[in-house]
């Protein structure tokens, strides 16, 4: 991997990147949108002009980092019934509905929301109206997004294509075949992270197709890179590790004063299998028996929400445990500031930006060894996700031993200050340069 980057060092001046994403701040559902925004800002500083395409823009996105293209506003000008079109994109055949981040308990609610908001199917010379969500008809939207990508690729000038996560791989492939420009895909998670061994074959096939068609594959951790190589059979030579970072562009507020003299331990993320919420609850049960003045917060939503509420009730933790629902924006930052300890017990976490955000707010963190962020963090307590006793002991130690808490907090803040999107962008720019150089050979 390093040999490839060192041998090819020619730079492309005034580079333009056509970037496909699925979400963008301030309207995000998880780390994908946060990472897309941070990287885009860094690339803009590095002199890369960005055309960022998303299914449904709201108009309040930060356009200072590049041009936002709202796919819902694009008039389809590619004749999808022509022989020429299908010669280039004959792989584009998707029909099933899938929810990648949410489970069946949320499916019906999202389906009803999509019906109320209204969606439309377009033909040549018309528009698609995307929901921009992760609910009903998702796979249909993925396919339509790819169709719109053909028009965008035909009408815009750019040097390289960058597709974020499996939802946009089809769009990236179509853009590559229409324009002849190289494709870089960014693997933020794989189906093995989301579903364990019970993978959805349709999603896996899309991921594998994107990886095979790509000229370069960027993975957010060595953990993810290894999965790409071993589970998708992608050559090592074109898979690169690009760790995520945290945004320091805004000042962090000072710690808040609480009216209750109690400690707060926080879990913030999707309440789904991948994030390990049940291990957090089991550890909370053990800690509460040793430290009565501690409150536990589970911030987020997901398909395991109802099950976790019942689990808390079964353990008689209701008076010490709080579910906030999904948080975003300032509410996320406030939650960090209210916390004394942050816990991320993920079963499989490709990276995990939230611990960096917590550390930036002066909160000591506990992370699972099965997370990509554990590869880069030194000043965090690390446990195996399944070791509830070790997790409970770590929480107890950070709440009880002031010296340990102060050291982890102080050194963690110094450490996280070294993780900037500007540095990540320089590495990505180098991958762009080398991909373009190889493409021209």
Q: What pLDDT was estimated at residue 362?
A: 93
CA gap 299, 301 in Å, rounded = 7
- On the question of pLDDT at 2 being above 50, the answer is no
Does domain 2-245+421-434 correspond to CATH entry 3.40.50.2000?
yes
Q: What pLDDT was estimated at residue 249?
A: 63
* pTM for this entry: 0.82
Q: What pLDDT was estimated at residue 100?
A: 39
Domain ranges of the chain: 2-245+421-434, 263-416
Q: Do domains 2-245+421-434 and 263-416 have the same CATH topology?
A: yes
- Residues with Cβ within 8 Å of 377's Cβ and at least 6 positions away in sequence, in order, are 355, 365, 367, 412, 415
CA gap 438, 182 in Å, rounded = 9
Higher per-residue pLDDT: 141 or 170 = 170
Q: In CATH, what number does 263-416 get?
A: 3.40.50.2000
- On the question of pLDDT at 124 being above 50, the answer is no
CB 199 within 8 A of CB 211: no
Q: What pLDDT was estimated at residue 238?
A: 96
- Residues with Cβ within 8 Å of 246's Cβ and at least 6 positions away in sequence, in order, are 38, 353, 356, 357, 360, 416, 419, 420, 421
Percent pLDDT > 90 in the chain is 56
**Residue 394, helix vs strand vs coil:** helix
CB 245 within 8 A of CB 419: yes
What would the mean pLDDT of 30-56 be, rounded to a whole number? 88
CB 145 within 8 A of CB 88: no
Q: What pLDDT was estimated at residue 324?
A: 96
Instruction: Name the range with the highest mean pLDDT among 11-20, 141-150, 151-160, 388-397.
Output: 388-397
**DSSP H helix total and E strand total for the chain:** 16, 13
What would the mean pLDDT of 320-344 be, rounded to a whole number? 93
| pLDDT tens, residue by residue, 226-235 | 999 999 999 9
- On the question of pLDDT at 218 being above 80, the answer is yes
CA distances to 5, 80, 81, 94, 280 from 84, rounded to whole Å, are 36, 9, 9, 20, 54
- On the question of pLDDT at 267 being above 50, the answer is yes
């Amino acid at each position: 991997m390093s040999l490839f980057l060192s041998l090819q060092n020619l730079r492309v001046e005034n580079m333009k990147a056509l970037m496909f994403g699925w979400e963008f701040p301030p309207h995000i559902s998880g780390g994908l949108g946060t990472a897309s925004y941070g990287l885009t800002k860094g690339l803009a500083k590095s002199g890369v002009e960005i055309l960022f395409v998303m299914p449904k823009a709201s108009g309040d996105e930060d356009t200072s980092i590049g041009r936002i293209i709202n796919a819902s506003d694009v008039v389809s000008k590619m004749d999808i019934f022509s022989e020429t079109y299908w010669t280039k994109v004959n792989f584009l055949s998707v029909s099933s509905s899938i929810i990648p981040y949410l489970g069946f308990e949320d499916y019906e609610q999202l389906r009803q929301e999509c019906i109320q908001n209204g969606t439309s199917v377009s033909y040549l010379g018309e528009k698609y109206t995307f929901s921009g969500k992760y609910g009903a008809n998702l796979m249909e939207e993925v396919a339509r997004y790819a169709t719109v990508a053909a028009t965008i690729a035909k009408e815009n000038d750019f040097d390289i294509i960058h597709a974020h996560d499996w939802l946009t791989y089809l769009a990236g492939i179509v853009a590559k075949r229409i324009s002849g420009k190289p494709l870089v895909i960014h693997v933020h998670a794989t189906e093995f992270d989301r579903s364990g061994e019970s993978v959805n074959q349709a999603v896996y096939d899309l991921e594998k197709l994107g990886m095979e068609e790509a000229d370069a594959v960027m993975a957010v951790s060595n953990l993810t890179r290894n999965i790409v190589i071993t589970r998708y059979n992608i050559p090592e030579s074109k898979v690169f590790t690009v760790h995520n970072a945290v945004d320091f562009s805004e000042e962090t507020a000072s710690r808040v004063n609480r009216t209750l003299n109690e400690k707060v331990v926080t879990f913030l993320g999707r309440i789904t299998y991948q994030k390990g919420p049940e291990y957090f609850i089991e550890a909370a049960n053990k800690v509460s028996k040793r430290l009565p003045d501690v409150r536990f917060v589970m911030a987020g939503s997901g398909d395991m929400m109802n099950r976790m509420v019942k689990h808390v009730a079964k353990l008689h933790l209701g008076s010490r445990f709080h579910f906030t629902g999904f948080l975003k924006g300032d509410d996320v930052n406030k939650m960090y500031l209210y916390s004394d300890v942050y816990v991320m017990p993920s079963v499989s976490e490709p990276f995990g930006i939230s611990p960096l955000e917590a550390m930036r707010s002066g909160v000591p963190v506990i992370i699972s060894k099965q997370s990509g962020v554990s590869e880069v963090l030194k000043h965090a307590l690390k446990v195996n996700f399944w070791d509830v006793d070790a997790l409970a002991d770590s929480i107890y130690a950070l709440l009880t031993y002031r010296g340990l808490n102060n050291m982890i907090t102080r050194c963690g803040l110094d450490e996280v200050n070294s993780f900037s999107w500007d540095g990540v962008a320089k590495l990505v720019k180098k991958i762009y340069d080398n991909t373009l150089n190889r493409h021209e050979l």
